[in-house]
Amino acid sequence: MLEQLLIFTRGGLILWTCKEIGNALKGSPIDTLIRSCLLEERSGEVSFNYGAYTLKWTFHNDLGLVFVAVYQKILQLLYVDDLLSMVKQSFSEIYDPKRMRYDDFDETFRQLRVEAEARAEEMKRTKQVVKPLNGVKKQGQVSKEETKKSNGEKKDDEGKVSSVSNGNHKMEDDVANGKENSADNNNNNNNSVGVDVSKLAKLRSKGVRGRGGLRKADSIGSNKGSSKVEPPKKATKKNRVWDDAAAAPKQEEKLDFTDEHGDNGHVDVVAAADQGESMMDKEEVFSSDSESEDDDEPISDEKPEAKKKGWFSSVFQSITGKANLERTDLEPALKALKERLMTKNVAEEIAEKLCESVEASLEGKKLASFTRISSTVQGAMEEALIRILTPRRSIDIMRDVHAAKEQRRPYVVVFVGVNGVGKSTNLAKVAYWLQQHKVSVMMAACDTFRSGAVEQLRTHARRLQIPIFEKGYEKDPAVVAKEAIQEATRNGSDVVLVDTAGRMQDNEPLMRALSKLINLNKPDLVLFVGEALVGNDAVDQLSKFNQKLSDLSTSGSTRLIDGILLTKFDTIDDKVGAALSMVYISGAPVMFVGCGQSYTDLKKLNVKAIVKTLLK
Amino acid sequence: MENLEDLKIMAEQWSNRGIEYLQKIPQDQLYAAVGVLLFTTVLLFLSIRLVRRTKSNTVLLSGLSGSGKTVLFYQLRDGSSHQGTVTSMEPNEGTFDLHSENAKKGKVKLVHLVDVPGHSRLRPKLEEFLPQAAAIVFVVDALEFLPNCRAASEYLYDILTNANVVKKKVPVLLCCNKTDKLTAHTKEFIRKQMEKEIEKLRASRSAVSTADIANDFTIGIEGEVFSFSHCCNKVTVAEASGLDGETVQIQDFIREHIKP
């Protein structure tokens, strides 16, 4: 049954709640919905899960109203969408901006609800009568698809599930159990996480099921393949020893090239690197180009006749300014905008979601006079982009460092990322910047895998004249980090910068090692280092990193990625979309931008400049 | 007496000469000249009026998300908070007459009250409204003060160091909301805590750069612990309770600073 149905204005005033079913809701689902979904530009999604509830919503953009329905997650009520649209229609007839109480709407709502329920019953009955067998499977599939939609998973999973849906009723029970468990875990959800942690937990439970399902499919489909591969491979490679596995001491000796006596030869004292002010502190000077109208560019891919008609009617409408925006009107403008975003290297999925969200917020709105549809859409998209790129919490690192200093403990920053993005280089840049502001820094070389990583950090430390904690290669990074932090507490360093090895997001043992490092040491800031050149993979990297970090977290508090460091920004001219993709998918703000290879090439993200470049 | 008569004669002569001169000019030119003169005087009047801007009557209600701004807005406007509020996604604006119990001279003071959303993603909205603000009410949740102290202080610091606020010396009221609850903190405690936090912020922000990019100005006096009395604009503290309708102190503040 419906738990609650609310109508409120975009300004925050509740206009009407259903009084018949006046159950108090556990927690604050509406506020969480607004904070983590509607304000995060995810209003194009179908539903939102919070604790034991599922929420669905619809907007009336012209009057600035939001209609939200809350119901128990376990029940799959099919009439909610229908009910919401009917409520929207009838409420907008009686809405008056001056009126604050709408008690007479109770009666109307009761009727509408009865109507909607009846209609849903009918539909269910007709479906069941026509195809009894398929109906059972379909119900299973429908529920799966609904849960999947509410999880917002990628579309490629659907294909796999449908192939495994035969005889999957046992699996369904597992899902239900998994959901109930995760529901209990997520009642103390932090409202500030953009990425729904409950979503991730659900992905975890689904992952368990999915893997089983996949294995089945794989075993069915690729039995032939695997049998072919096995015979030729006899001489297997000796596996690289990662962390805990006990390795033969001879192997360890052979591979450990740590030089016990320090650098042999080059013991010259390197002068402390002082290259001037870091670009973090310089004011950003960006040329204010005149904003060229996008309509000057001819939209060449549309048919000329349709274009002429569209253009004429849009001009006419722009002058009169009375038309309500419909989906069909918005589509061409949104499509063009999406293409433009994608040419600026925004991931395809993100561009799609953004356009849906903007569409949801503009549909039904009245056009202001003398504005074209395209400029309205552009304005809405610009606002949405600024909203996404504006950090949700303060990114004042100096303040955090001072706060940690007062508590007499070092401020720990862990740099994570895939291979070759520039973690070590940017770690040195951050150390330089902190040092310039009279903060004592210590580096911890927890990249114990890549040859030369420790030497690299050692060189940086020598040039910057800051202490470095290293234990050589082939050591457990989590333990090295722990000892580094203890050392920092002992000698009074304010900040500890921990460098980790690069790892692909799919590599299970490496991600587990990373998660262990983070759980053991509880750093203050987990900084994901991503390069600006990355394309669609950014979405995959960040979401998998976050997922693994939440899956494998042991204690109650789940640490996710707290901030993003965008590197190699000088190599992209104006294709700045990676920043947007990363921020959207993870909800973490961009704290630094690396724009070169010397110590001073570190700056802050300029939101307005990026938005302007994206929409140019 | 002679002087007067002389003057009279001279004036007559001049006027005759003037009339002769005027009659010499062709009529079209005359009319054109008069027209241009009238036009420019009208323009001058209008521009003077605009430039000599009437004092704005906009009051901003700002503060962190969840501090009670929307409730206070509706209390001030309608006298009741209706059926409750949720997190605002857009600003609420209203122009109305503040009900003055002591109706001073029966003057109608129209106040333009703006409730700016406190969510951090919507922070740029505040910057849109700051230029037209004549007074700012910064609402703080007195109940859940300590967990949010840092964020609230940062927000207040950003407001106090904004160029518009400093240049126009906009008065700020630090309003402690939700004082109807038992465990709410007192306004003195809140004031001291925020002064301490802003002092820390001052130290860390000025340490960041000599060219202060994050904030336009620094506040307070160098070398001394920050106190609200150091600000060039007036900062006062008050208590209120949105749900109970206890908004007298806010109303007094608004009445004091918004002159019709």
Give A482-497 as a DSSP string: HHHHHHHHHHT-SEEE
Which of B89, B208, B209 lies closest to A39 in CB terms? B89
CA angle A348, A353, A359 (to 5 degrees): 125
Which band of pLDDT confidence, cut at 50, 70 and 90, is reported for residue A140? very low
pLDDT at B217: 65
Which band of pLDDT confidence, cut at 50, 70 and 90, is reported for residue A266? very low
Q: What is the largest CA-CA distance in chain A?
A: 89
Q: What is the DSSP letter of A515?
A: H
Contact A599, A441 (CB under 8 A): no
Please tell me the distance from the alpha carbon of residue B257 to that of residue B260, in angstroms, as a whole number. 10
CA–CA min distance A398, chain B (Å): 6
Which residues of chain B does A279 touch, with a Cβ-Cβ cutoff of 8 Å? none
Q: Assess whether pLDDT exceeds 70 at residue A284.
A: no
pLDDT at A415: 92
Which residues of chain B does A6 touch, with a Cβ-Cβ cutoff of 8 Å? 86
Chain B positions touching chain A (beta carbons under 8 Å): 65-66, 70, 74, 78, 82-92, 115, 117, 119-124, 150-151, 154, 200-201, 203-205, 207-211, 213-214
Is there a contact between A14 and B86 if contact means CB atoms under 8 Å apart?
Answer: yes
Which of B121, B151, B205 lies closest to A39 in CB terms? B121
> CB contacts < 8 Å between A and B, how many?
111
Is there a contact between B82 and A13 if contact means CB atoms under 8 Å apart?
Answer: yes
Which of A6, A13, A39 lies closest to B119 in CB terms? A39
Please tell me the distance from the alpha carbon of residue A104 to that of residue A4, in angstroms, as a whole number. 17
A64 close to B (CB below 8 A): yes
Out of A45-49, A262-266, B87-91, B217-221, pick the least confident: A262-266
Which band of pLDDT confidence, cut at 50, 70 and 90, is reported for residue A413? very high
Q: What is the pLDDT of residues A536-551, one digit of tens each?
A: 888 888 888 888 888 8
Contact A473, A449 (CB under 8 A): yes
Please tell me the distance from the alpha carbon of residue A292 to that of residue A294, in angstroms, as a whole number. 6
**Mean pLDDT within A212-231:** 44
Is there a contact between B74 and A64 if contact means CB atoms under 8 Å apart?
Answer: no
Please tell me the distance from the alpha carbon of residue A434 to that of residue A436, in angstroms, as a whole number. 5
Query: What Rg, from alpha-carbon coordinates, does chain A have?
Result: 28
Query: Averaged in consecutive runs of 10 residues, what is the pLDDT profile of chain B (260 residues)?
Result: 80 85 76 86 79 71 87 83 82 76 57 86 84 87 85 86 83 86 85 85 62 56 74 82 81 76
Please tell me the distance from the alpha carbon of residue A303 to that of residue A295, in angstroms, as a whole number. 16
How many helices, marked H, and strands, marked E, lie in chain A? 21, 13
Question: Can you tell me the ipTM of this complex?
Answer: 0.71
Record the tokens describing residue A199, joined without a space: 């979503």
Give span(s): CATH 3.40.50.300, chain A. 397-615
pLDDT at A202: 55
Out of A3-12, A240-249, B157-166, B228-237, pick the least confident: A240-249
Is there a contact between B89 and A390 if contact means CB atoms under 8 Å apart?
Answer: no
Residue of B nearest to A278 (CA): B209
Query: For residue A536, what are the contacts with CB-CB under 8 A and spacing of at least 6?
Result: A347, A348, A349, A581
Query: What Rg, from alpha-carbon coordinates, does chain B have?
Result: 28
Which band of pLDDT confidence, cut at 50, 70 and 90, is reported for residue A265? very low
In three-state secondary structure terms, A49 is: strand
Q: What is the pLDDT of residues A316-326, one digit of tens each?
A: 655 665 567 77
Cα A197 off chain centre by: 11
Is there a contact between A390 and B85 if contact means CB atoms under 8 Å apart?
Answer: no
Q: Which CATH architecture has domain A310-389?
A: Up-down Bundle (1.20)
Is there a contact between A392 and B121 if contact means CB atoms under 8 Å apart?
Answer: yes
Smallest CA-to-CA distance from A518 within A546, A559, A565, A468 is with A559
Contact A60, A67 (CB under 8 A): yes
DSSP state string for A340-389: HHHHTT--HHHHHHHHHHHHHHHTTPBPPTT--HHHHHHHHHHHHHHHHH
Out of A97-106, A160-169, A493-502, B11-20, pick the least confident: A160-169
Dump strand ranges (E) for A417-510. 441-446, 468-470, 495-500
Smallest CA-to-CA distance from A570 within A606, A595, A594, A599 is with A595
Q: Which CATH superfamily is domain A397-615 in?
A: P-loop containing nucleotide triphosphate hydrolases (3.40.50.300)
Which site among B65, B74, B77, B83 would you substitute to test the A interface, given the most A Cβ atoms closer than 10 Å to its Cβ? Answer: B83
Q: Assess whether pLDDT exceeds 60 at residue A158.
A: no
pLDDT at A238: 63
**Mean pLDDT within A54-82:** 82
Say how many Å lie between the first and final Cα of chain B, rounded: 53
Residue of A nearest to B84 (CA): A14
CA angle A390, A391, A396 (to 5 degrees): 130
CA distances from A174 to A50, A51, A154, A447, B20 (A): 20, 18, 21, 39, 109
Location of structure tokens 């000088």 = A570
Q: Between B222 and A363, where is the model more confident?
A: A363
Q: What is the pLDDT of residues A451-475, one digit of tens each?
A: 888 899 999 999 989 888 888 888 8
Smallest CA-to-CA distance from A489 within A526, A459, A521 is with A521
CA–CA min distance B214, chain A (Å): 9
Contact A525, A414 (CB under 8 A): yes
Give span(s): CATH 1.20.120, chain A. 310-389
Location of structure tokens 């290259």 = A275
Which residues of chain B does A401 touch, with a Cβ-Cβ cutoff of 8 Å? 204
Q: Assess whether pLDDT exceeds 50 at residue A172.
A: no
Which band of pLDDT confidence, cut at 50, 70 and 90, is reported for residue A414? very high
Which site among A5, A13, A19 would you substitute to test the B interface, given the most B Cβ atoms closer than 10 Å to its Cβ? Answer: A13
pLDDT at A305: 45
- Domain A2-117 CATH (choose: 3.30.450.60, 3.40.50.300, 3.40.50.10800, 3.40.50.720): 3.30.450.60
Q: Mark out the alpha helices in chain B (DSSP H runs).
A: 2-24, 27-51, 69-78, 123-129, 145-160, 163-168, 187-208, 248-257
Which band of pLDDT confidence, cut at 50, 70 and 90, is reported for residue A244? low
Which residues of chain B does A38 touch, with a Cβ-Cβ cutoff of 8 Å? 89
Give span(s): CATH 3.30.450.60, chain A. 2-117
Is there a contact between A402 and B208 if contact means CB atoms under 8 Å apart?
Answer: no
Q: What is the largest CA-CA distance in chain B?
A: 90
pLDDT at A337: 87
Is there a contact between A390 and B121 if contact means CB atoms under 8 Å apart?
Answer: yes
Which site among A39, A395, A401, A605 would you substitute to test the B interface, given the most B Cβ atoms closer than 10 Å to its Cβ? Answer: A39
**Mean pLDDT within A509-538:** 87
Q: Assess whether pLDDT exceeds 60 at residue A233.
A: no
Which of A17, A396, A438 lies closest to B83 in CB terms? A17
Please tell me the distance from the alpha carbon of residue A7 to that of residue A65, in angstroms, as a whole number. 7
Record the tokens describing residue A181, joined without a space: 């468990």
A282 close to B (CB below 8 A): yes
Q: Assess whether pLDDT exceeds 60 at residue A110.
A: yes
Residue B134 has phi, psi (to 5 degrees) of -100, -20
